[in-house]
Amino acid sequence: MQPIMNADEIMGMLDEVFPQIHADGRVYEIENVGPGEAVLRLSANERHLRPGGTVSGPTMMAMADFAAYVVILAHIGPQALAVTTNLNINFLRKPEPGDLLATCRLLKLGKRLAVVDCAIAGEGQDDMVAHATATYSIPPR
């Protein structure tokens, strides 16, 4: 399944309809959009850290949700009202300091629902720090 929007088109749309995603500055960057997949980078700042200097769970949940939204938009087009109906996340290990990458794959893209698998790892790390699945409701087209 080929994407119909590229990273620049998605960020342009989000800048217009969802500017609050950049409330902390541009901490998210779309690294890649490909067939059935998208990779998102989070450059965590002090706001995203918990005591002990690790990226907080709520930050990783937001990253997984946003990355799922990105991969879905890439494949359905500019449907701003696609919404999360379920998000499940498992925190696997403490992230090392530095950027996190979320690699999201479409497991199912139907007319009304999309299901996404999301692996979050530290940049240059093989081991996942979190794994999430998300289901999105897609508005009628």
Say how many domains are in the chain: 1
Instruction: Report residue 27 as tokens.
Output: 């901490």
Q: What are phi and psi of 122, to 5 degrees?
A: -70, 150
The structure's pTM equals 0.94
The verdict on residue 119 lying in a domain is yes
Q: Identify the domain containing residue 51 by its residue range.
A: 7-137
pLDDT digits (tens, 9 = 90+) for 89-133: 999 999 987 899 999 999 999 999 999 999 999 999 989 999 999
- Which residues fall within 8 angstroms of residue 112, CB to CB, at 6 or more apart? 137, 138, 140
The CATH number of the domain holding residue 36 is 3.10.129.10
The verdict on residue 87 lying in a domain is yes
The verdict on residue 1 lying in a domain is no
The verdict on residue 112 lying in a domain is yes
